[in-house]
Amino acid sequence: MKPCYCLCLLWLLAASVRAQANPPPMMLRSDGTSEVSMRGHLSRFVDSTGQLSIRQVIDRQQTGQFRPAVSLTDRQDFGYNTTATHWLYFELVAPTNIPKPVRLMLEIEYANLDELELLEVSHGTIRSLGLTGNHFVFSQRPYRNNNYVFPIQLRAGQTAGYYLRLRQPYAILSFFVRLWHRPAFLASDRSEYFLWGMFVGIICIVAVLNLVMLLALRDWIYFWYSLYLHFITMHLFSDAGLGFQYLWPTLPHLNDYLPVYLYVWAAMVAQLTFMQYFIRQNRHNSRIFRWVNGFKAFVTFALVAAITVQWLGVPGREQYLYRMVSLTTSCFVLVVTGLTILSLLEPGRRTGTREPMVRYYGYALAVQFMGYGLVATINFCQGQGWVLPFDVETYIVLGLTVLIDLVFFTYGLAYRYTHAQHRNQQLELNVLQSRQQAQQQVINSLEEERRRLAQDLHDDIGPLLATAKGYLSRLDRTSQATPLQQAQRLLDEAADELRTLAHQLMPRALERNDLVNAIAEVSRVLSRRGIPVEFVSAGEVKPLDGQRAQLVFSMATQLIRNAQRHQRVTDVTVQLLYHDNYLTLSVEDNGLPTPIADTDRANLRAKADLLKADLLIDSTDDGNSVMLSEVITNPVPA
């Protein structure tokens, strides 16, 4: 009795193992219009020799050597593969009550598999449904798609087994496998390509805008940002299979250069350079600058070396190149992260405050590092062959990260441009203020010199002339010689001219802050010795401070003298008009059109700038006119 019990137990265990080794077939529905779940229906087998034929593999499947796929999702992770060939098996049963054959699409969603083939076994007949992979031209694919897609067709009541053979030597083997009813696949495929089109359109628009800004502003940050967008987009294209589909469909050997990784390296160089421009890092203000440049040079050298090894066909490269490039990429990511964090922290330690551009770049980078961290986690789990609890392609994560970064960095560039423009305007304003201060100092010095000269003429030279005239008067009473009388007359004229000049340099009315009487007085004095000058003043007088009044008086005197020297001039009119919040000074003459000398024009412009006044100079056939319009902001109490 006991031996019978043991035999029954062994038979049950064997049946259990066999049932576990052979998942049940998938019973297709007649009205299926969506994705067909393959979970629990896939089994897998590893041919460690890579030499088994399809019939030998069929024998192993029938003897229970295939094991159920343990993945909880549609992803199949085999980890790092050397020379083994991997097989997946599933069985389909078509319904019997259908008028037309069932049309399905098997999609392998990973674009960088070296070689894969789908074989159909039905009623003892073996039929290949397509041989494709990265080592074959794109046109060889059974269905034109960025992923590997195999059309399947089953008649009513037909049962067929399918063997998917995969070869990916010396690389990570991880992919999604999905089975669709054809209408559902076409709808999903159209949506995916539409989203890719939108993504590429956004990238192209931003890239063109950056190139326009580069040409307009000659700021190289826009070039490096466009270059970063190009490299990261090409990385996504390579990872999604769009690069092979649209850019090099007849050159499958380009896939051997591992563009998925090398475009990441190029993007690192472009992004670090973009960061340096963005936070204005240079050798004068950063100790990290030379380390960043050194790392960029090393990455560029490694990029050239990886391309050269593949281009020269170095023997044995298939065994070590992929693993070395993938491991180097992980190390590069860590170094980039460290250098970026140090670069962002350095300005704060140096100045004690966090600059807005540095803080903003840090926010954008935090989002980027979160995406990169998730991708690194997925890649690590794939390399170890660990089962993930979710289904997501790394290029989708990176694509979303790039879109978020696009918003951050585009806004950041706009903010940087506005900030730079404001800073330049502030610098221009500071330069203008410095220039005005310098002009003010020069004019103050000149006015002070005028005041001193007027005082010296009045206090020193005037008394000397008066004394000389007194001596000549004595001689005139004792001797009526004509030369003495002429000398006395010349001394009278010199004394009169001296008093006039002294009053022009510093009139007493101006010392009392009486601009109207000061200009009226100088007009009367100059009228007596030259062309008649008519002075007109109107409006409620609003006194100016001493310096502004001195500048207006100085300009009036200069303009009157200039007008009197014009050819064929017979009269000069001076108008000083007070309005509600501004005054106008105009000097007009009826002489021939005469341009103002460059030195006089520059002097007048400088004084007008100091007054923050408008200066209008005009010359016509009717004469010449100069008008000064000055805003009165804070009138001085009378």
Phi, psi values for residue 155, rounded to 5°: -80, 170
Phi, psi values for residue 117, rounded to 5°: -145, 140
> Mind listing the pLDDT tens digit for each residue in 550-575?
888 888 888 888 888 888 888 899 99
pLDDT on residue 638: 53
Q: For residue 245, tell me if it sits in a domain.
A: no
Neighbours of 520 (CB within 10 A): 19
**Last residue of a domain, which of 122, 150, 181?**
181
**Last residue of a domain, which of 133, 156, 181?**
181
pLDDT on residue 500: 62
| Confidence check: pLDDT of 10 > 80 | no
> Mind listing the pLDDT tens digit for each residue in 207-257?
898 888 888 888 898 999 899 999 989 988 998 899 999 999 999 999 999
Q: Whole-angstrom Cα distance, residue 481 to residue 477? A: 10
pLDDT on residue 257: 93
Q: Whole-angstrom Cα distance, residue 522 to residue 501? A: 10
Burial 170-186 (b: 16+ CB within 10 A, else e): bbbbbbbbbbbbbebbe
**What integer is the mean pLDDT of 453-481?**
62
Question: For residues 2 and 42, which has the higher predicted lDDT (pLDDT)?
Answer: 42
The helix (H) or strand (E) run that includes residue 131 is: strand 125-132
Q: For residue 555, tell me if it sits in a domain.
A: yes
For residue 482, the one-letter residue type is: T
How buried is residue 543: exposed, middle or buried, by Cβ count under 10 Å (0-12/13-18/19+)? middle
Q: Whole-angstrom Cα distance, residue 378 to residue 88? A: 22
Percent of the chain with pLDDT over 90: 31
Mean pLDDT of the chain: 81
200-209, 354-363, 491-500, 590-599 — which is least confidently predicted?
491-500
- DSSP letters, 26-68, are EE--TT--SEEP-TTS-EEEEESSS---HHHHHHHHHTT--EE
Sole residue written with tokens 């009378």: 638
Torsion of CA 536, 542, 548, 553, to 10 degrees: 20
Q: For residue 400, tell me if it sits in a domain.
A: no
pLDDT on residue 516: 83
Residue 389 token pair: 């609890």
Question: Where do the H-state alpha helices sit in 280-355?
Answer: 289-312, 317-351
- Which structural domain range is residue 75 located in? 18-181
Q: For residue 162, tell me if it sits in a domain.
A: yes
Q: Is the pTM of this model over 0.85?
A: no
pLDDT on residue 561: 85
Per DSSP, 458 falls in state: I
Angle between helices 598-611 and 394-456 (to 10 degrees): 110
Sole residue written with tokens 């940087």: 416
> Mind listing the pLDDT tens digit for each residue in 81-136?
888 999 999 999 999 888 889 999 999 988 889 999 999 999 889 999 999 999 99
The domain spanning residue 634 has which CATH number?
3.30.565.10
Q: For residue 547, tell me if it sits in a domain.
A: yes
Q: For residue 629, tell me if it sits in a domain.
A: yes
> Cα Rg for the chain, rounded, in angstroms?
47
The helix (H) or strand (E) run that includes residue 86 is: strand 85-93
The domain spanning residue 113 has which CATH number?
2.60.40.2380
Longest dimension (CA), the chain: 178
| Confidence check: pLDDT of 326 > 80 | yes
pLDDT on residue 262: 94
Question: For residues 410 and 309, which has the higher predicted lDDT (pLDDT)?
Answer: 309
Q: For residue 35, tell me if it sits in a domain.
A: yes
**What integer is the mean pLDDT of 61-83?**
84
Quote the number of domains for the chain: 2
Mention every residue, 6+ apart, whose C-beta is less than 8 A from residue 495: 462, 465, 466, 469
Q: For residue 235, tell me if it sits in a domain.
A: no
Burial 485-516 (b: 16+ CB within 10 A, else e): eebbeebeeebeeeeeebbbbbbebbeeebbb
Helix, strand, coil percentages in the chain from 3-state DSSP, rounded to 5: 60, 20, 25
69-78, 335-344, 386-395 — which is least confidently predicted?
386-395
Positive or negative, the Cα torsion across 69, 70, 75, 80?
negative
Neighbours of 346 (CB within 10 A): 18
Q: Looking at the DSSP assignment, which residues form a beta bridge with residue 594?
A: none
Q: Whole-angstrom Cα distance, residue 502 to residue 455? A: 7
**Last residue of a domain, which of 125, 148, 181?**
181
**What integer is the mean pLDDT of 461-469?**
65
For residue 489, the one-letter residue type is: R
pLDDT on residue 190: 94
Residue of 73, 75, 70, 90 lying closest to 22 (CA atoms): 90
Percent of the chain with pLDDT over 70: 78
